């Protein structure tokens, strides 16, 4: 039970910095710089200067952590962002004085704290079920803590962290809020630029709460589906009465789903986003800039993340197209780059990723995330490979493909299936997997090159009986463990990738171009053990 609790906690910790802040005009707004606004949300502003003090610490060690020799460094006091901080002795300041110049000038720091309560009404607006965003502009920089948390991610600009010179910070306090719900907001003010200490002070240009009506959840609906049955064995996999449900729509090109215990994470590489669908039929932005943070993002067709999976500790492993790397989100919300180069050269654009039970990570690396694909001038490697990252060492384990794409282990992990995205070479290979991570005895498992339809091969999954599911020409192909085509599921959109979900693992979730779909099957799928534990822990 403790293991399951830790897995749930680990996944909760690798969430996004904060959910995407709504844009456009709010349905209601509360000005926290006025007496009326502060009173409406039962808020009282409290203030204190912050100081830089010298403290004991340790130098960096061989593990790149503070495990070296003792040293002296600096810290800021008080640590007023934590949830249980007592500010009762702080100065109370009137909302109308937020623009007053405070702190000591030059290189200086301060704290503003206010607890806000969702009111019964804001004029004619009922905030029940709304999304509430906090916005503040501090001259010159700010960091925003909400309920004792300051989430951050690699490359993050704004929201909770420094947004820029006199730029507003906008943070979602809560979604689906209720009157009486309370949020503790703490703002750390910074005078700057720090390297060129100005002759001014810290002050607040504006502070407000914006309320947005929450869109109604998408109502799942049954959609037309054709199941082409080529072998009687398919009936045990896809029941005769199986239905295809559409769960969400309006995406640009969804990919890389993974069940995480309380819902489904999936990528939209074209939109540079990771979304989360939950069983209450809501979709939220789970991570922005999921695969690329560069300013030239417009050059890319698919800059965002693609394949997603979980390791044995419940941490999310991400294939990032635009950043050309495999990364992992840690329990504390930070990001670790696992692989971005091979033989000193940048990877192409990692596409799909799977984790073996011993922790070895396999990923495919076609150039589809580069602006000009194979012909991109930024392409550094002469091949399109399949790699294994094991015990910190990256090895090229196959270069048999022009467009390596979907990956999946057999149920016993003795074999690895890899499909090829190439309109002229549509095939699936099967390899023996050695304990040291190497692949051997690669054999052609199935060839779809002559199948009608222009689509090449994309996502790939395996069920508990060893059947292989491939996104191929015309639909989702189901192949037996012996390589026999049992049948094809043809929906309204071509499924690019899939994931096994729900408590029993028998629901196949499909990311299909602009929509998200699911179908209940007669057999459970192979998915990371941690996903099973997370699901069980949430039941």
- Structure confidence at residue 537 as a pLDDT band (50, 70, 90): low
Q: Which of 180, 212, 244 is the last residue of a domain?
A: 212
Is there a contact between 421 and 386 (Cβ–Cβ < 8 Å)?
A: no
Q: Which of 172, 195, 212 is the last residue of a domain?
A: 212
* Maximal CA-CA distance, the chain: 81
Calculate the alpha carbon distances from 291 to 267, 284, 344, 427, 486 in Å. 9, 17, 21, 27, 36
Mean pLDDT, residues 329-340 taken together: 89
Is there a contact between 426 and 420 (Cβ–Cβ < 8 Å)?
A: yes
Q: Does 22 or 167 have the greater pLDDT score?
A: 167
Mean pLDDT, residues 329-339 taken together: 88
Please check the confidence at residue 6 and state whether its pLDDT lies above 50.
no
Do 177 and 271 sit in the same domain of this protein?
no
Do 246 and 149 sit in the same domain of this protein?
no
Q: Which of 192, 212, 232 is the last residue of a domain?
A: 212
- Structure confidence at residue 400 as a pLDDT band (50, 70, 90): very high
pLDDT in tens, 517-527: 999 999 999 98
Do 237 and 144 sit in the same domain of this protein?
no
Distance between first and last Cα of the chain: 13
Do 516 and 466 sit in the same domain of this protein?
yes
Look at the chain and report how many structural domains it folds into.
2
Please check the confidence at residue 483 and state whether its pLDDT lies above 70.
yes
Is there a contact between 134 and 171 (Cβ–Cβ < 8 Å)?
A: yes
pLDDT in tens, 129-138: 899 999 999 9
CATH number at residue 111: 2.60.120.260
Mean pLDDT, residues 358-375 taken together: 97
Please check the confidence at residue 12 and state whether its pLDDT lies above 50.
no
Do 193 and 230 sit in the same domain of this protein?
no
Do 152 and 278 sit in the same domain of this protein?
no
Do 494 and 354 sit in the same domain of this protein?
yes
**What is the average pLDDT score of the chain?**
91
pLDDT in tens, 184-203: 999 999 999 999 999 999 99
Is there a contact between 356 and 362 (Cβ–Cβ < 8 Å)?
A: yes
Range of the domain at 202: 2-212
| Percent residues over pLDDT 90 in the chain | 80
CA distance 141 to 158: 10
Sheet of 460-462: strand order equals 226-229, 485-490, 475-479, 468-472, 460-462
pLDDT in tens, 112-121: 999 999 999 9
**Which residue matches tokens 């830089």?**
52
Do 206 and 258 sit in the same domain of this protein?
no
Do 533 and 508 sit in the same domain of this protein?
yes
CATH number at residue 424: 2.120.10.30
Is there a contact between 218 and 143 (Cβ–Cβ < 8 Å)?
A: no
Do 101 and 27 sit in the same domain of this protein?
yes
Do 9 and 92 sit in the same domain of this protein?
yes
């Amino acid at each position: 039970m403790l293991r399951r609790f830790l897995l749930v906690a680990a996944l909760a910790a690798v969430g996004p910095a904060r959910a995407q802040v709504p844009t456009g005009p709010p349905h209601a707004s509360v000005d926290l710089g006025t007496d009326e606004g502060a009173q409406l949300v039962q808020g009282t502003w409290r203030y204190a200067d912050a100081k830089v003090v010298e403290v004991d610490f340790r130098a960096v060690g061989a593990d790149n952590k503070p495990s070296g020799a003792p040293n002296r460094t600096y810290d800021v006091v008080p640590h007023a962002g934590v949830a249980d901080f007592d500010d009762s002795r702080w100065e109370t300041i009137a909302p109308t004085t937020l623009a007053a110049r405070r702190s000591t000038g030059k290189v200086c720091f301060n704290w503003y704290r206010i607890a806000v309560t969702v009111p019964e009404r804001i004029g004619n607006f009922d905030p029940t079920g709304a999304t509430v965003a906090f916005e503040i502009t501090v001259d010159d920089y700010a960091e925003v803590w909400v309920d004792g948390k300051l989430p951050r991610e690699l490359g993050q600009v704004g929201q909770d962290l420094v947004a820029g010179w006199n730029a507003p910070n906008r943070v979602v306090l809560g979604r689906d809020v209720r009157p009486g719900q309370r949020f503790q907001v703490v703002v750390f003010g910074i005078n700057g630029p720090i390297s060129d200490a100005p002759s001014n002070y810290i002050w607040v240009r504006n502070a407000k709460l914006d309320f947005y009506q929450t869109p109604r959840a998408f109502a799942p609906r049954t959609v037309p589906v054709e199941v082409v049955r080529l072998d009687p064995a398919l009936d045990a996999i896809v029941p005769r009465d199986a239905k295809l449900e559409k769960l969400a729509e309006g995406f640009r090109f969804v990919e890389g789903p993974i069940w995480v215990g309380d819902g489904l994470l999936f990528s939209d590489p074209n939109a540079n986003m990771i979304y989360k669908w939950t069983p209450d039929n809501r979709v939220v932005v789970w991570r922005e800039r999921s695969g690329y943070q560069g300013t030239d993002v417009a050059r890319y067709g698919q800059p965002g993340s693609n394949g997603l999976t979980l390791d044995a500790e419940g941490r999310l492993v991400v294939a990032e197209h635009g950043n050309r790397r495999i990364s992992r989100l840690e329990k504390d919300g930070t990001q670790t780059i696992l692989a971005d180069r091979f033989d000193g050269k940048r990877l192409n654009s990692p596409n799909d990723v799977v984790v073996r039970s011993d922790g070895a990570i396999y990923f495919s690396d076609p150039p589809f995330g580069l602006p000009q694909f194979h012909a991109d001038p930024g392409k550094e490697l002469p091949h399109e490979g399949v790699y294994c990252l094991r015990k910190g060492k990256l090895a090229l384990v196959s270069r048999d493909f022009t467009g390596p794409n979907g990956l999946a282990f057999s149920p016993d992990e003795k074999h690895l299936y890899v499909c090829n995205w190439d309109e002229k070479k549509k095939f699936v290979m099967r390899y023996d997997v050695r304990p040291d991570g190497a692949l051997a005895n690669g054999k052609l498992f199935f060839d779809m090159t002559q199948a009608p339809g222009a689509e090449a091969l994309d996502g790939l999954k395996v069920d508990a009986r060893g059947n292989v599911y491939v996104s191929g020409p015309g639909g989702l192909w189901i192949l037996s463990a012996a390589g026999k085509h049992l049948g094809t599921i043809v929906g309204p959109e071509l499924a690019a990738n899939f994931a096994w979900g729900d408590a029993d693992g028998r629901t196949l979730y499909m990311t299909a171009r602009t929509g998200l779909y699911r179908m209940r099957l007669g057999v459970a799928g192979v998915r990371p053990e941690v996903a099973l534990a997370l699901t069980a822990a949430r039941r």
